[in-house]
Structure 1
Amino acid sequence: MHASAFIALGTNLPFEGAEGSALLARAVEAMREAGFELRAVSGVWRTPAWPPGSDQPDYFNAVVEADAREDGPRAIYDKLRAIEATFGRKRRARWESRTLDLDLLALGALSGVFDGIAVPHPRLQERVFVLAPFAEVAPDWRHPELGETVAHMLARLEVDEGYRRVSDLS
């Protein structure tokens, strides 16, 4: 069996008449059309925009587990960027609102920087908007550098921001 690629999805702007959970459902379908074989899909979680006080609309977030096949981090990253582009994603400034954000969180137990792509994602352990949906698909996945499971990383966060599961993502 091939390694699992864990991918975060996020949106806080509409695109072509879809927004929130509906837009993430379209993104999941686009991932399948791009050749990603999905093993698990989290629900949709709504969280305040990051960083706090940015006055952006709330985000809708999810995590999927995909079969990585023989793809390495760069190949996965490039496929994700191509999908983002079809959803009108423009990269102008860090932490700006976006129609679709796709991030490679982890690739099996791989750890390091590969062709410019860091895995696992350098800040995943700090972000409830990543860990809450990640815990739905792989609560026992263990961070290769920290040695902690997703469930443990989520439980130890002191969260004062509101976040909640708002729907299933089929």
Structure 2
Amino acid sequence: MAEEAEILIGAGANLGDPVGQLREAVQMLARTIAIHRISSLYRTEPVGHRDQPDFHNLVLAARTVLAPEAVLAQLQAVEAALGRERTFANAPRTLDLDLLAYGEVVMDTPALILPHPRMHLRGFVLHPLVEIAPEWRHPVQGHTARELLSCASALERVERAGALFHAGHPLAPAPPSG
């Protein structure tokens, strides 16, 4: 049996019903990976192509025995199932799923670069990542998520927008202890 890896996935949407699509995507992913932390939803301004609606974004942490390429294939299958169309870079979309990190794996292939090459430049990744894994350490840069956010230059607008799942849902965050 393959060894289990800790993975980070970024999710975003800004067309159709972004929150509903993110909720459905997380539920679909939970069938094949063991999700154990989901950030709050964040409403964020678009990066790159700016003439489009704001995005809703989140980051989740999970464990899997799937290889990185198999995780990527799962993410792309969920995107396709929820109507993702690839038109141009930074285009509006019904769903965007990115494999941000796969344990300590560093790889650069035509299909997949790990860790994600721009995650440290994106407020829509760093804010939710710091919420769920502030001490996660970037395997190339060596900085924690908290350090990456504090050192980042001007980032896009990012506002916390609430929880994806309400208390009592199996994928809802556990209440704070203590």
Q: Cα–Cα, structure 1 residues 107 and 129, in superposed 2: closer, same or farther, change >3 Å?
A: same
**Displacement of 1:114 after TM fit?**
5.1
The TM-score, its normalising length taken from structure 2, stands at: 0.86
Instruction: Please give the alpha-carbon distance, in whole angstroms, between the structure 1 residues aligned to 2:138 and 2:34.
Output: 23
Instruction: Please give the alpha-carbon distance, in whole angstroms, between the structure 2 residues aligned to 1:160 and 1:66.
Output: 26
Who is 2:35 aligned against? 38
User: Does 1:55 find its partner at 2:46?
Assistant: no
**Displacement of 1:22 after TM fit?**
2.7
Identity rate of aligned residues, in percent? 36
Who is 2:156 aligned against? 161
**Displacement of 1:39 after TM fit?**
1.1
Q: Counterpart of 1:61 in structure 2: which amino acid?
A: N
**Displacement of 1:50 after TM fit?**
1.1
Instruction: Please give the alpha-carbon distance, in whole angstroms, between the structure 1 residues aligned to 2:109 and 2:4.
Output: 18
**Displacement of 1:36 after TM fit?**
1.6
Instruction: Please give the alpha-carbon distance, in whole angstroms, between the structure 1 residues aligned to 2:18 and 2:77.
Output: 20
SS at match of 2:27: helix
Who is 2:11 aligned against? 9
User: Unpaired runs of 5+ in structure 2?
Assistant: 166-178
Structure 1 segments, 4+ long, off by >4 Å, are: none
**Displacement of 1:160 after TM fit?**
5.4
Instruction: Please give the alpha-carbon distance, in whole angstroms, between the structure 1 residues aligned to 2:133 and 2:89.
Output: 28
Instruction: Please give the alpha-carbon distance, in whole angstroms, between the structure 2 residues aligned to 1:104 and 1:168.
Output: 21
User: Does 1:103 find its partner at 2:103?
Assistant: no
Instruction: Please give the alpha-carbon distance, in whole angstroms, between the structure 2 residues aligned to 1:161 and 1:65.
Output: 23
Who is 2:111 aligned against? 116
Who is 2:64 aligned against? 68
User: Unpaired runs of 5+ in structure 1?
Assistant: none
Instruction: Please give the alpha-carbon distance, in whole angstroms, between the structure 2 residues aligned to 1:127 and 1:95.
Output: 13
Q: Counterpart of 1:30 in structure 2: which amino acid?
A: M
Root-mean-square deviation (Å): 1.5
Q: Among residues 24, 36, 40, which one is paired with 1:26 in the alignment?
A: 24
Aligned length: 163
Instruction: Please give the alpha-carbon distance, in whole angstroms, between the structure 1 residues aligned to 2:84 and 2:60.
Output: 19
SS at match of 1:9: strand
Q: 1:73·1:114 contact (CA, 8 Å) conserved in 2?
A: no
SS at match of 1:90: coil
Deviation string 1:11-30 (CA, Å, 9 cap, x unpaired) is 0001xxxx232321121111
The TM-score, its normalising length taken from structure 1, stands at: 0.90
